[in-house]
Structure 1
Amino acid sequence: MISPPPPDRPAIHLIDTEADRLYGLAEGMMQRQPALAAMLLAEINRAEIHIAGTLPAGVVSMLSTVEFVDEGSGTSRTVQLVFPSDADIAAGRISVLTPVGAGLIGLAEGQSILWPDREGRERRLRIVKVGAAPGLPA
């Protein structure tokens, strides 16, 4: 079972329209995955919200390509953060409705977050590089 994250979190930033859509997705999954839904809602609620085009550079948004390191294992991965309907782990597209996806959204290059994985183990994820989402400035 996934436990809610502690209140000690780095600042995060979200685009207003993405925050609205993520809120709806989290609400919709409350019955199936209440712990993950609650974690995502908490992240949305604490985020600094920006209108499209004003998101700071190097911040993970939807459709961003993200290189991150699991500092516990030293494993580096590069993925694209997508909505659930576009997820394909074999193609490197992870859903924002997975524990890792929910932990990455809104973080900036250089930031790290202690975040639970699917088994509830805490992992420190550090953002190495963020490629801009299509249509957004790099």
Structure 2
Amino acid sequence: MSTTSANTMRSEIKPPITLTADDYKRLSLLARAAENKMPDVASVLTEELERAHVLADGHPAQTVCMGSEVRFRDDSNGTVRTATLVYPDDADISRRRISVLTPVGAALIGLSAGNSITWETRTGDLRRLTVLEVGGPQIA
């Protein structure tokens, strides 16, 4: 990817995100706790939390919450994946459970079906993903 393309992707306006009050509270604590061990991902998660619209109660329809099963596409290669977004202790890639403390997990939180976001992999590559479908929370 050219430097111009990378800079354009980095400066793109991010889509709006919505979080439940409980997810916001728990994720804020998690991001603070992870600052020393995983500063890069904790920083990304904190940025997402800062721009989130927080609901007082209920779960927003077709929006990625903790425990949601989400089907998304990697727009760089067209690969479609389905995974459940979980807290780090529940992560298990063999069971398609992605931690919110991974770059893709932090990118997914709060997105609604149809939204796309550009995120940076651990190797520094920029990727764009699009949320195709969101199922209700499967686990807390």
Indicate which of 49, 58, 75 corresponds to 1:44.
49
Indicate which of 114, 127, 132 corresponds to 1:128.
132
Could you tell me which residue of structure 2 aligns to residue 80 of structure 1? 84
Change (3 A) 1:6 1:27: farther
The structure carrying a bigger helix percent of its residues is 2
Helix, strand or coil at the partner of 1:109 = coil
Could you tell me which residue of structure 2 aligns to residue 15 of structure 1? 20
Helix, strand or coil at the partner of 1:38 = helix
Which runs of 5 or more structure 2 residues have no equivalent in the other structure?
1-9
Give the deviation of 1:6 after TM superposition: 4.4
Q: Calculate the TM-score normalised by the size of structure 2.
A: 0.88
Could you tell me which residue of structure 2 aligns to residue 66 of structure 1? 70
The CA distance in 2 between the partners of 1:6 and 1:92, in whole Å, is: 30
Aligned 8 A contact 2:68 2:137 in 1: yes
The CA distance in 2 between the partners of 1:43 and 1:74, in whole Å, is: 25
The CA distance in 2 between the partners of 1:87 and 1:123, in whole Å, is: 22
Give the deviation of 1:56 after TM superposition: 2.6
The CA distance in 1 between the partners of 2:28 and 2:12, in whole Å, is: 19
Superposition RMSD in Å: 1.4
Change (3 A) 1:7 1:129: same
Could you tell me which residue of structure 1 aligns to residue 101 of structure 2? 97
Which runs of 5 or more structure 1 residues have no equivalent in the other structure?
none
Q: Give deviations 1:18-74, integer Å, cap 9, x for gaps.
A: 111101111111112212111100100100000231x33100000000000000011
Helix, strand or coil at the partner of 2:89 = helix
Amino acid at match of 1:18: D
Q: Calculate the TM-score normalised by the size of structure 1.
A: 0.89
Which ranges of 4 or more aligned residues in structure 1 deviate by more than 6 Å? none
The percent of aligned pairs where both chains have the same amino acid is 45
